[in-house]
C-alpha cells in the first residue's frame, strides 16, 4: 500500500485542490515548481546548511531513563523542542522561504495557532530580509502573548483574525483571503500538512527530516533503524507527519497520532477530528472535518492553541481510513498533568501540544522490550501562562 | 422547460443585472421577499448565496451576512424550500452560489435534483475543481439542464479561459480583480485592459462581470465590455443599513441602472 500523494494530489480519498479560481495561479505555480526546485542540488545544500547551522539539527534522540522506568519500555524523545525558535515548525519555514525566494516572491504571509509557526516564519523572513505578515486568531493572540511579541520583535506584522472563534481556522481563512488579494508577489507559508495540493506533500517533505534523523539515531543507539511505536500529537499534523514519514512503509512500526479531546470527546468542546469528523472540504482539501449535518464547520476547542483545528491533514485522514496509523485523544486535564509529569521526570517542560502526546503513554500497553519514539515537538516556554492559570503543580 | 438563463441571454444581450444576496439574511424568512422585490425592480438574474461558515473567497461584508444567516438557522433544505416558494412568484433565472462542503453533505446528486425541482437554473461553486465537476456533477447537470457557471480572473491564463468557457453553461463569471468580494469602488486601468480582452475574445457563453460592482458607474462600465454585471457586497451593505427592505431594493436597483 502506498501513502504518498498521487498525480492529482490525493492520498486515497483525501486531498486535492478545492480552491476558488482566484487562488488557482498561485497554487498552480507551486504545484508545477515545488519538486523541481526542492530537488535541485543548490536548494538542498542551502536547506541542509541552514538546518544544521541555523536550526541546530540534528536534534538529539534522547533516551529518557526515568520515563522508560515509569512506563516499562524503552522511550526515546526526539528533541524538536531544541530547534531554534522552540519547535519543529522551523524545518518547514526554512524550506518554504527558500522555495519562495526561488520563485521570486518578496512578501510572505502565514497563519498561526500557538504562534510557533508564526515565530518560525517571522524568523526566516528576518533571516532572508523578506516582508512578513502573520494572521493569528484574536483569542490565540491573548493566550500566546509571548509569541506575538516575539514575532513583532522579529519585524513581522501580526494581524488579528476576528471572525469565528478567533483561532487557527479563522487565521487560515484570513491568510487565504490575503493571498487572493495579493496573488503575484506573495508566498503563503502554510504551517501544517493541510491546504490544497501541493502543500500537504511539500510540508511533509520538509518535516520528514525528523524521521530521517530518527532512523539513523536509532541504529546508533539500538542497532535497529525501526522502533515499535512512533507517537506524536496531531492538530493539522505536521510534526506527526515528519516523525511518521520514513516509517510509513515499515508496517511493523505502530504510528500513533494524538488529538486534543478538549473537555472530552463528547463534551461539544473538543478538537478530536478523527473521532468526530466526517469527510468534508475545508481550506482547499478534502479531509476529515468536524462539521454539522448541514456541512458547516464546527468550531473546535482545545486548551492548546496549536491543536485547536477542526480538520486534519489529508494524509492523516488517509492513514486513519486505511488504519495505517491509530489515533487516540487526550483531554485538557490529562495533557496538563502529563506536562507536569514530564517536567518532573525528565527536566523538560513541554509545549501543551506536545503534552498531549506524552499523556498518550498512559493509554498504550507496552511490552518491556518495546522501543517507543515520542516526538517532543515543542518546548513549553510559550505556555507558561497557561500552566500558571491551570495551577495544579 | 427550457433553462431560464438560456432564454434570458437569447433575448437580452446587454445590461443584464444579476444581484447576489445571502439566503436567510437579514432575517431567516427574507429570502423570498428580497428575490421578488429584486425582480420587480428590474433585476434579471437572482443569485442566492448558500451560507457557509468559512467563505474564503468573500470579503468582510458577505462573510458577516453568512454568519448572520447561519445564526438565524439557515440550512440547505430550508433554503431550497424558500427558493421553491420564490420560484412560484417569479420567472427570472435563479442561480445558487455556495461553497462545496454544504453541497457534499447534502449529497451531490440529491442536491442537484432538489435544486432543479425547486426551480433553480444554475450553480456557482467557486471551490469546485474542473475535474471534480467532470467526474461527479456534469452528467447529472446536463441531464437536468442545470447550468454550472465557472469563474475566471485577471490572472487566468488564455488556455484556462478557454477551458472555463468549455466547462461553463449559462454564462461565465468574470471576476473583475484579483481580490475577494466587495473590495473596490472604481476600476483602474489594468482592470479596464482586462475587460477589453474579455470583450474581444470569442466566447461560447455570455460573460458577466462581478466583484467590485458597487454603483451606477461601475455597473455601466462593466456592461460596456460584457453582457452585464453581478452585484453582491454593495447590495448586502444596503440591506444591512435598511429600515424598509422593499424600498431599499427598489431604490438600489434604480440607482444602479441609472434611473434615479
Q: Are A280 and A248 in contact (CB under 8 A)?
A: no
pLDDT > 70 in chain A, percent: 100
Are the beta carbons of A20 and B126 separated by less than 8 Å? yes
Mean pLDDT of the region A384-392: 94
Are the beta carbons of A289 and B103 separated by less than 8 Å? no
Which residues on chain B are in Cβ contact (under 8 Å) with A280? 101, 104-105
pLDDT number for residue A163 = 84
The shortest C-alpha distance from B234 to chain A (Å) reads: 18
pLDDT number for residue A255 = 98
pLDDT number for residue B186 = 87
Q: HEC profile for chain A? A: CCCCCCCCCEECCEECCCCCHHHHHHHHHHHHHHHHHHCCHHHHHHHHHHHHHHHCCCCCEEECHHHHHHHCCEEEEECHHHCCCCECHHHHHHHHHHHHHHCCCCEEEEEECCCHHHHHHHHHHHHHCCEEEEEEEHHHHHHCHHHHHHHHHCCCEEEEECCCCCCHHHHHHHHHHHHHHCCCCEEEECCCCCCCCCHHHHHHHHHCHHHHHHHHHHHHHHCCCCCCEEEEECCCCHHHHHHHHHHCCCCCCEEEEEEEEECCCCCCCCCCHHHHCEEEEECCEEEEECECCCCCECCCCCCCCCCCCCECCHHHHHHHHCCCEEEEEEEHHHHHHHHHHHHHHHCCCECHHHHHHHHHHHHCCCCCCCEEEEECCEEHHHHHHHHHHHCCC
Are the beta carbons of A180 and B180 separated by less than 8 Å? yes
Over 70: is that where the pLDDT of A1 sits? no
**Residue written as grid cell 524538536:** A80
Which residues on chain A are in Cβ contact (under 8 Å) with B133? none
Count of residues making up chain A: 393
Higher pLDDT, B2 or A277: A277
Higher pLDDT, A234 or A146: A234
Over 90: is that where the pLDDT of A94 sits? yes
Strands A14-15 and A10-11: antiparallel
Q: Are B150 and B168 in contact (CB under 8 A)?
A: yes
In degrees, to the nearest 5, what angle opens at C-alpha A37 toward C-alphas A34 and A39?
A: 100
Contact status of A18 with chain B (Cβ, < 8 Å): yes
pLDDT number for residue A165 = 81
Over 90: is that where the pLDDT of A167 sits? no
Q: How far apart are CA A248 and CA B152, in angstroms?
A: 40
pLDDT > 90 in chain A, percent: 94
The shortest C-alpha distance from A23 to chain B (Å) reads: 9
Interface test with A, best of B130, B178, B211, B233 (most A CBs within 10 A): B178
Of B129, B160, B183, the CB nearest to A181: B183
Q: How far apart are CA A374 and CA A211, in angstroms?
A: 11
B58 counts as catalytic: yes
Are the beta carbons of A183 and B155 separated by less than 8 Å? yes
Q: Are A237 and A192 in contact (CB under 8 A)?
A: yes
- Burial-class residue B135 by CB neighbours within 10 Å (0-12, 13-18, 19+): exposed
pLDDT number for residue B260 = 77
ipTM of the complex: 0.95
The shortest C-alpha distance from B33 to chain A (Å) reads: 24
Mean pLDDT of the region A153-168: 92
B7 counts as catalytic: no
pLDDT number for residue A183 = 87
Interface test with A, best of B58, B105, B107 (most A CBs within 10 A): B105
Over 60: is that where the pLDDT of A270 sits? yes
The shortest C-alpha distance from B232 to chain A (Å) reads: 17
Residues 371-390 of A with CB under 8 A from B: none
Q: Which of B58, B165, B217, B240 does the annotation list as catalytic?
A: B58
Over 80: is that where the pLDDT of A2 sits? no
Classify B4-257 by CATH class.
alpha beta
- Burial-class residue B134 by CB neighbours within 10 Å (0-12, 13-18, 19+): exposed
pLDDT grade, residue A144 (50/70/90)?
confident
Which residues on chain B are in Cβ contact (under 8 Å) with A294? 75-76, 102, 105-106
Domains of chain A and any CATH numbers: 18-50+89-203 (3.40.50.1100), 56-87+208-390 (3.40.50.1100)
Contact status of A167 with chain B (Cβ, < 8 Å): no
Contact status of A107 with chain B (Cβ, < 8 Å): no
Contact status of A352 with chain B (Cβ, < 8 Å): no
Q: Which of A111, A174, A334, A346 does the annotation list as catalytic?
A: A111
Contact status of A160 with chain B (Cβ, < 8 Å): no
Q: How far apart are CA B103 and CA B77, in angstroms?
A: 11
- Whole-model pTM? 0.96
Contact status of B106 with chain A (Cβ, < 8 Å): yes
Omega before A171 within 30 of 0, i.e. cis: no
Which residues on chain A are in Cβ contact (under 8 Å) with B100? 18, 281
Contact status of B151 with chain A (Cβ, < 8 Å): yes
pLDDT number for residue A164 = 79
pLDDT grade, residue A203 (50/70/90)?
very high
Over 70: is that where the pLDDT of A162 sits? yes
Contact status of A171 with chain B (Cβ, < 8 Å): no
Low-confidence ranges of chain B (pLDDT < 70): none
Which residues on chain B are in Cβ contact (under 8 Å) with A285? none
Amino acid at each position: 500500500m502506498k501513502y504518498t500523494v498521487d498525480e492529482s494530489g490525493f492520498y486515497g480519498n483525501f486531498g486535492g485542490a478545492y480552491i476558488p479560481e482566484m487562488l488557482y495561479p498561485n497554487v498552480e505555480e507551486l504545484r508545477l515548481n515545488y519538486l523541481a526546485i526542492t530537488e535541485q542540488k543548490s536548494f538542498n545544500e542551502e536547506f541542509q546548511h541552514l538546518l544544521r547551522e541555523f536550526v541546530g539539527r540534528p536534534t538529539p534522540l534522547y533516551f529518557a531513563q526515568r520515563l522508560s522506568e515509569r512506563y516499562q519500555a524503552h522511550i526515546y524523545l526526539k528533541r524538536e523542542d531544541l530547534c531554534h525558535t522552540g519547535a519543529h515548525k522551523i524545518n518547514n519555514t526554512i524550506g518554504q522561504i527558500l522555495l519562495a525566494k526561488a520563485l521570486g516572491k518578496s512578501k510572505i504571509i502565514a497563519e498561526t495557532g500557538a504562534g510557533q509557526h508564526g515565530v518560525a516564519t517571522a524568523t526566516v523572513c528576518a533571516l532572508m530580509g523578506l516582508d512578513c505578515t502573520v494572521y493569528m486568531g484574536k483569542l490565540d493572540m491573548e493566550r500566546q502573548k509571548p509569541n506575538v511579541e516575539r514575532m513583532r520583535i522579529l519585524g513581522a506584522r501580526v494581524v488579528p483574525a476576528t471572525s469565528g472563534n478567533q483561532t487557527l481556522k479563522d487565521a487560515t481563512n484570513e491568510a487565504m483571503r490575503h493571498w487572493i488579494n495579493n496573488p503575484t508577489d506573495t508566498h503563503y507559508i502554510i504551517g501544517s500538512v493541510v491546504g490544497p495540493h501541493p502543500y500537504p506533500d511539500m510540508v511533509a517533505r520538509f518535516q520528514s527530516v525528523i524521521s530521517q534523523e530518527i532512523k539513523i539515531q536509532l541504529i546508533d543507539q539500538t542497532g535497529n533503524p525501526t522502533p515499535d511505536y512512533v507517537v506524536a500529537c496531531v492538530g493539522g499534523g505536521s510534526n506527526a507527519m515528519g516523525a511518521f514519514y520514513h516509517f510509513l512503509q515499515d508496517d511493523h512500526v505502530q504510528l500513533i497520532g494524538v488529538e486534543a479531546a478538549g473537555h472530552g470527546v463528547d463534551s461539544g468542546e473538543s478538537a478530536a477530528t478523527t473521532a468526530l469528523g466526517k469527510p468534508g472540504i475545508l481550506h482547499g482539501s478534502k479531509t476529515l472535518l468536524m462539521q454539522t449535518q448541514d456541512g458547516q464547520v464546527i468550531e473546535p476547542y482545545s486548551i492548546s492553541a496549536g491543536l485547536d483545528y477542526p480538520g486534519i491533514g489529508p494524509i492523516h485522514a488517509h492513514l486513519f481510513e486505511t488504519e495505517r496509523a491509530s489515533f487516540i485523544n487526550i483531554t485538557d486535564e490529562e495533557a496538563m498533568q502529563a506536562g507536569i509529569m514530564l517536567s518532573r521526570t525528565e527536566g523538560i517542560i513541554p509545549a501543551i501540544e506536545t503534552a498531549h502526546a506524552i499523556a498518550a503513554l498512559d493509554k498504550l500497553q507496552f511490552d518491556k522490550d518495546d522501543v517507543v519514539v515520542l516526538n517532543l515537538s515543542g518546548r513549553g516556554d510559550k505556555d507558561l501562562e497557561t500552566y500558571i492559570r491551570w495551577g495544579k503543580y | 422547460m427550457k433553462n431560464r438563463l438560456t432564454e434570458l441571454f437569447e433575448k437580452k444581450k446587454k445590461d443584464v443585472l444579476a444581484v447576489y444576496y445571502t439566503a436567510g439574511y437579514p432575517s431567516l424568512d427574507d429570502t423570498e421577499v428580497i428575490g421578488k422585490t429584486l425582480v420587480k425592480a428590474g433585476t434579471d438574474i437572482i443569485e442566492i448565496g448558500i451560507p457557509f461558515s468559512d467563505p474564503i473567497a468573500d470579503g468582510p461584508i458577505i462573510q458577516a451576512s453568512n454568519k448572520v444567516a447561519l445564526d438565524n438557522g439557515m440550512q440547505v433544505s430550508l433554503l431550497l424550500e424558500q427558493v421553491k416558494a420564490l420560484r412560484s412568484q417569479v420567472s427570472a433565472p435563479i442561480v445558487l452560489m455556495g461553497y462545496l462542503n454544504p453541497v457534499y453533505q447534502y449529497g451531490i446528486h440529491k442536491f442537484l435534483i432538489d435544486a432543479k425541482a425547486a426551480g433553480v437554473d444554475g450553480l456557482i461553486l467557486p471551490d469546485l475543481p474542473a475535474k471534480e465537476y467532470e467526474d461527479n456533477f456534469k452528467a447529472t447537470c446536463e441531464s437536468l439542464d442545470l447550468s454550472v457557471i465557472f469563474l475566471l480572473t485577471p490572472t487566468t491564463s488564455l488556455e484556462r479561459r478557454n477551458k472555463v468557457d468549455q466547462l461553463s453553461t449559462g454564462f461565465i463569471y468574470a471576476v473583475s480583480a484579483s481580490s475577494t468580494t466587495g473590495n473596490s469602488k472604481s476600476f483602474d486601468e489594468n482592470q479596464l485592459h482586462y475587460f477589453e480582452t474579455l470583450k474581444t475574445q470569442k466566447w461560447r457563453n455570455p460573460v458577466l462581470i462581478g466583484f467590485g460592482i458597487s454603483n451606477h458607474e461601475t455597473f455601466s462600465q462593466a456592461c460596456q465590455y460584457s453582457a452585464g454585471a453581478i452585484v453582491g457586497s454593495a447590495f448586502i451593505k444596503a440591506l444591512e443599513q435598511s429600515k424598509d427592505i422593499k424600498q431599499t431594493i427598489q431604490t438600489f436597483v434604480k440607482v444602479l441602472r441609472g434611473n434615479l
